[in-house]
Amino acid sequence: MKFYDVNGAPSPRRVRIVLVEKGIEYETVPVDTPNKAHLEADFLTLNPWATVPVLQLDDGTCISEAIACCRYLEEAYPEPPLFGKNSKEKGIISMWEHRMEWDGFLAVAEYLRNTIERMRGRGLTGVVNFDQIPALAERGKKRVAHFHNLLDERLGHSEYMAGDYYTIADITAQVSLDFASRAGLKCPEDKKNILRWYNLVNSRPSAAA
Ligand SMILES: N[C@@H](CCC(=O)N[C@@H](CS)C(=O)NCC(=O)O)C(=O)O
């Protein structure tokens, strides 16, 4: 299995963490996104949406979209389960994972993609160039503050994001929190519930992925 990756990028990191948690062996193929390798024909045959990560299975099948890659890995390598062990858990975990992507990951992306010079004319991923919109950067910043509140409130009465064990919902929240921090939107120090949980998830070997 090949994994098309960008060093340090948050979307592929969601999948990298799952690969480590499940102890899966794979081959990394670096994609030079700063030099726009993901917009060239060779890469677009793997993923026409021009985003990283992409998993390429041994039969050549390509799966893009971080959560879809994680979902494939869960089905192909069920242990340890990260998406739940029964139908109720699966529903609850998916609910929290999806909220973490919307309220966390996409909020940071909205802020960053509409702010930094390197992403000028690249307000969205994909083959179409969209202008940055400063008002969206402002909104993204507010959404990240809201995300910190939401996370702290939830973790005040749940050990992990979706219950009493580590799941894909924690992975999306953890990556979003680190993504925000790297974008300069650090978690306020008074968010004690986030700090408690962050120490837990960040002490797992997969956090280094
Ligand atoms: N919806 C995609 C988003 C992936 C994404 O945004 N990847 C970034 C790297 S973290 C990327 O490919 N950026 C290319 C670009 O900015 O054009 C997913 O979940 O996999």
Q: Are residues 176 and 129 in the same domain?
A: yes
Q: Are residues 107 and 202 in the same domain?
A: yes
Q: Which of 3, 11, 73, 132 to mutate to test the pocket of ligand 1 (most atoms within 8 A of CB)?
A: 11
pLDDT at residue 154, as a whole number: 98
Quickly state the pLDDT bin for 114 (edges 50, 70, 90). very high
pLDDT at residue 37, as a whole number: 98
How many structural domains is the chain composed of?
Answer: 2
Hey, which residues does 62 pair with through a beta bridge?
Answer: 56
Enclosing H/E stretch for 142 = helix 134-155
Quickly state the pLDDT bin for 126 (edges 50, 70, 90). very high
Q: Are residues 139 and 53 in the same domain?
A: no
pLDDT at residue 77, as a whole number: 98
* Range of the structural domain that residue 173 is part of: 87-208
Cβ contact 157:193 at 8 Å? no
pLDDT at residue 162, as a whole number: 98
Over residues 25-45, the mean pLDDT reads: 97
Other Cβ atoms less than 10 A from the Cβ of 108: the count is 25
CA–centroid distance, 160 to ligand 1, in Å, is 26
Quickly state the pLDDT bin for 79 (edges 50, 70, 90). very high
Report yes or no on 81 lying in a domain: no
Report yes or no on 200 lying in a domain: yes
CA–centroid distance, 6 to ligand 1, in Å, is 9
Nearest CA to ligand 1 atom 20: 65
Average pLDDT, the chain: 98
pLDDT digits (tens, 9 = 90+) for 43-73: 999 999 999 999 999 999 999 999 999 999 9
How are beta strands 27-30 and 54-56 bridged, if at all?
unpaired
Q: Give residue ranges with CB within 6 A of ligand 1.
A: 6, 9-11, 33, 38, 51-53, 65-66, 122, 125
Q: Are residues 129 and 178 in the same domain?
A: yes
CA–centroid distance, 144 to ligand 1, in Å, is 19
Q: Are residues 51 and 101 in the same domain?
A: no
Cβ contact 138:110 at 8 Å? no
Report yes or no on 147 lying in a domain: yes
How many CA atoms does the CB half-sphere of 7 hold within 13 Å? Answer: 3
Report yes or no on 82 lying in a domain: no
Over residues 101-116, the mean pLDDT reads: 98
Q: Are residues 72 and 92 in the same domain?
A: no
Nearest CA to ligand 1 atom 13: 51
Over residues 8-14, the mean pLDDT reads: 97
pLDDT at residue 106, as a whole number: 98
Is the alpha carbon torsion for 97, 98, 103, 106 positive or negative? positive
Report yes or no on 15 lying in a domain: yes
**Would you state the structure tokens that stand for residue 72, as one six-digit string?**
């494939």
Q: Are residues 105 and 163 in the same domain?
A: yes
Among 9, 54, 49, smallest CA distance to 29 is for: 54
Using the atom order of ligand 1, give the atom closest to the CA of residue 65. 20
Among 43, 44, 55, smallest CA distance to 14 is for: 55
pLDDT at residue 67, as a whole number: 98
CATH code: domain of residue 101: 1.20.1050.10
